[in-house]
Amino acid sequence: MAVQTIQLTPHSDPTPAAFEVRRELSGVQWCARFPGDDTLDALDPTFRPDVTAFFAALTAAHANTSIGSVFRPRNRAYLMHWSYRLFHQTVAARDIPRLDGVLIEWVHPTEAESVRAAGSMCTGYGIHDLGTTPALISQHEARLAIDVTISWNGTLRIANRDGTIATIEFTPRTGMNPELIAVGASYGVIKYNRTGIDRPHWSSTGG
């Protein structure tokens, strides 16, 4: 556990005072902290009806849905972003910036230990093979995004927003299916369309 000493100068006493800020080493225990909300009620009221209608169509078509994340506070996004980057070794532990309110110490006795600890966090968050770095500032923070795993068996017959039926016969039978992505867009629920691959991510803009 790292210790940081901070000098303070009280108004009533010109003598500087010092106290220690103890930082806890990174590891899987951080994954339970700064929890978000994985319910549809956590969505912004401007986006919630679109997602609710899309989910209703998925349910009516007998597709399976499992929500992973809706609202994600900034502290949690910070931990996810930097643990992913450190695990994939696109940043060194010593170069990760601090964030107020998150007393984490990324630097372990060796860089290999730092990377392993970051890997345990990625596993805890379920993002070790996400395909793109979790954003520091995302639509999740604005309550305009949802991470959801979608699957089905056989042919999926699902209603677009205008009531027409899309018949999806081809794989993949997941949220990455282009025909399902088009159905989602008819509801205003846009599949992630930025750099990399973020399999579960849908939002109001695709970002």
Residue 129's pLDDT band, with cuts at 50, 70 and 90, is confident
**How many domains does the structure of the chain reveal?**
2
Could you give the residue ranges of the DSSP H alpha helices within 22-157? 48-60, 74-87, 111-125
- Indicate whether 11 and 100 sit together in one domain: yes
pTM: 0.80
pLDDT exceeds cutoff 70 at 154? yes
Any domain includes 53: yes
Does a structural domain hold residue 133? no
Q: Is the pLDDT of residue 166 over 70?
A: yes
| Co-location of 101 and 156 in the same domain | no
Domain that holds residue 96: 1-32+74-128
Q: What is the pLDDT of residue 196?
A: 83
Q: Are residues 80 and 111 in the same domain?
A: yes
Q: Quick: pLDDT tens for 4-24.
A: 555 555 555 665 555 567 999
Q: Is residue 111 located within the same domain as residue 192?
A: no
Bond before 49 cis per omega within 30 degrees: no
| Coil/strand/helix, residue 99 | strand
The CA distances from residue 63 to 54, 156, 159, 172, 185, in Å, are 11, 8, 12, 13, 17
Average pLDDT for the chain: 92
Is there a single domain that holds both residue 150 and residue 196? yes
